[in-house]
Structure 1
Amino acid sequence: MRSDRPPLDRLAVLAGRSWREVPLPGGLTNTNLRVTTEDRLDPALDLVVRCSHAGSELLGIDRDAERANTEAAATAGVGPAVVEHRRDLGMLVIEYVDATALSDGSFTDAGVLARAAHAVRRLHEGPRFLGDFDMFTRQATYLATIRERGFSLPDGYESYAEAWDRVRRALAAAPRPTVPCNNDLLAANFLDDGKRIWLIDYEYSGNNDACFELGNTVAECGFTAEQTEAWVEAYFREPRPGDLARVRLQSLCSSYGWSLWGFIQAAASPIEFDFWGWGLERFERARQLFGGADFEALLTEAAA
């Protein structure tokens, strides 16, 4: 086996087996392979091997927490089961789910949106995760990394520091209990098998405000105002005053914070991808919300 290929033959689950591997699309901090056994031994295996890349420590990824939280999501009934974890090889082996990844446009279907909200709610009602996630802490850590290493930031990013702190204080004024969150539920991390929706990729998972989870999907999938309202209603069933404002503010947090992820990756990742453009797109979303006519009202409603 060539040295530039993942050493799948070192996995215990594949010991003595013959298999076929096929690259899976997606994955900006890892390479994903679908591995299916070709021999006649039982059981036949259909797996996904997630191979992490070097440098993930700059992004604050805890691979042990990823494994533990993937297992917890499986217990909650919304994630694939963990088969093997080889931290020394940078490999996490999970069961393959025969399902189709959603796209941003998928959420225009009210039925899909409702089932996605149900899956998120099941995750949040499941076992607690290992570790916590707070975007204000993560944003500060990412910003410190960028400064320490001399990475580039777009003009104007730090001019929103005061407004960012106002968002933090508004959300902290009426804190919510934390729940187990994926924290990175872009459309491709929802898998639809036609009967239910699965949630995958727990690299950034941790216990967090449920509204961040919802707001992150709003931001990543480009929800309209009407979709955002429907999303909040589908999740909460009977939204309370402040729920919508809180989700919208957390969508700002997602965009402003995760944009730094893109700027770090633009400087450090070996993957050929326009990380700078990815980060700029999210920074622009945050700028629009910071400068929106209803920004002050959102702060007031979220803090009430």
Structure 2
Amino acid sequence: MAAPEVLDRIPLLSGVPRSVEELPGGLTNHNYKVTTPSGVYVVRVWASDGELLAIDRDAEHANSIAAARAGVGAPVHAYLPELGVLVVGFLPNCRTYTEADLRDPANLPRVARACRLLHAGPRFVRDFDMFEVQRRYLEIVRERGFRLPPRYLDFMPTVSQIRKCLAVRDEGTVPCNNDLLPGNILDDGERLWLIDYEYAGNNDPCFELGNIWSESDLPIEHLEELVTAYYGRRLRHKIARARLLGLMSKYGWTLWASIQDGANDTIDFDFWSWGMEKYERAVAEFTDPGLARLMDEAARAD
């Protein structure tokens, strides 16, 4: 459905003067900035098979409301699942983060602060566990005959070992975004906002931190600083935990890319190359002799 036709069917936006600007980015949605006399909104129109990608749109809506209540997410104005639409407020005077922003150590305490604010907010309506998501993605890839990276299955025994070692010091879950690419972090000059709650769910906070590190391919020193800023002191086992969950992030999102590559023909993007870049970094970590030491550090107290 074309954007104007969708907008005409949204009561908040129909029958009023408006200007529409398509926003860049978005690998599972088409996003539009809509300006009206009463306000400025972002209209998110679904562009992917949410069921294949483990996206629960009702949960996304509820979790977006929870994030707004936590003071870190945009306000939610409308949800029309029959149209595949979520309408949120446009956050004014914000610029979108880039990898360069995350590579600036001065910004890491700000990111940690925003994460803590979200994590202290209302619980989300579902959980997110990358170990379970990765297994579901793998089933879909194999059932549908999508491309699987070479040697992918060779690392599954190591994944089981990582999961067991992380269970030793499991401290529960908090509401996490789980997808903090730079483009999902906005800066208004005073504070950071976290947007896009498609994959949001209650999760280990170290996954959030490790995923930020992984998605922007940050130096390991930046992860150490991010984790230390989040917890308020340097904790070796938390840093190791975030590194291992960052590895699982790369390994799991690789299959997300495989599914998008095989099933999504509505977005012009090279999902396979995007996923293989993550996978190559995951392989380097799986085959690093230091992996056993990391698992040991994650399982014992400092």
The TM-score, its normalising length taken from structure 2, stands at: 0.96
Instruction: State the 1:54 CA deviation.
Output: 4.4
SS state at 1:56 partner: coil
Q: Give, in whole Å, the separation in 1 of the partners of 2:199 and 2:35.
A: 27
Letter in 2 for 1:60: A
SS state at 1:59 partner: coil
Alignment match, 2:172: 177
What are the Cα deviations for residues 26-46 of structure 1, in whole angstroms up to 9, with x where unaligned? 101000000001x5xxxx210
Instruction: State the 1:9 CA deviation.
Output: 1.1
Letter in 1 for 2:296: T
Letter in 1 for 2:57: R
SS state at 2:12 partner: helix
Alignment match, 1:274: 270
Q: Give, in whole Å, the separation in 2 of the partners of 1:251 and 1:124.
A: 18
- Aligned ranges for residues 138-217 of structure 1 at < 5 Å? 138-217=133-212
Match of 2:111 among 109, 116, 136: 116
- Whether the 8 Å contact between 2:29 and 2:47 is mirrored in structure 1 is yes
Alignment match, 2:13: 14
Instruction: State the 1:76 CA deviation.
Output: 0.6
Q: Does 1:261 align with 2:256?
A: yes
Letter in 2 for 1:65: A
What are the Cα deviations for residues 220-241 of structure 1, in whole angstroms up to 9, with x where unaligned? 0111021111111111111334
Instruction: Name the count of aligned residue pairs.
Output: 297
What are the Cα deviations for residues 87-115 of structure 1, in whole angstroms up to 9, with x where unaligned? 11000000001211111111232332211
- Whether the 8 Å contact between 2:211 and 2:245 is mirrored in structure 1 is yes
SS state at 1:35 partner: strand
- Aligned ranges for residues 229-248 of structure 1 at < 5 Å? 229-248=224-243
Match of 1:4 among 2, 8, 11: 2
Note the aligned Cα RMSD (angstroms).
1.1
Q: Give, in whole Å, the separation in 1 of the partners of 2:280 and 2:91.
A: 35
Q: Does 1:46 align with 2:44?
A: no
Letter in 2 for 1:35: V
Match of 1:287 among 270, 279, 283: 283
Q: Give, in whole Å, the separation in 2 of the partners of 1:212 and 1:19.
A: 40
Q: Give, in whole Å, the separation in 2 of the partners of 1:108 and 1:55.
A: 33
Alignment match, 1:55: 49
Q: Give, in whole Å, the separation in 2 of the partners of 1:104 and 1:177.
A: 29
Segments of 5+ residues of structure 1 without an aligned counterpart are: none
Q: Give, in whole Å, the separation in 1 of the partners of 2:244 and 2:11.
A: 45
What are the Cα deviations for residues 231-287 of structure 1, in whole angstroms up to 9, with x where unaligned? 111111113340110010010010001110001101011111110001101111111
What are the Cα deviations for residues 54-73 of structure 1, in whole angstroms up to 9, with x where unaligned? 42211011001001101111
Q: Give, in whole Å, the separation in 1 of the partners of 2:234 and 2:65.
A: 30
- Whether the 8 Å contact between 2:105 and 2:222 is mirrored in structure 1 is no
Match of 2:216 among 218, 221, 228: 221
Q: Give, in whole Å, the separation in 2 of the partners of 1:248 and 1:54.
A: 29
Instruction: State the 1:207 CA deviation.
Output: 0.2
Instruction: State the 1:15 CA deviation.
Output: 3.4
Segments of 5+ residues of structure 2 without an aligned counterpart are: none
Letter in 1 for 2:284: Q
Comparing 284-293 with 24-33, greater Cα deviation is found at: 284-293
SS state at 2:87 partner: strand
Q: Percent identity?
A: 47
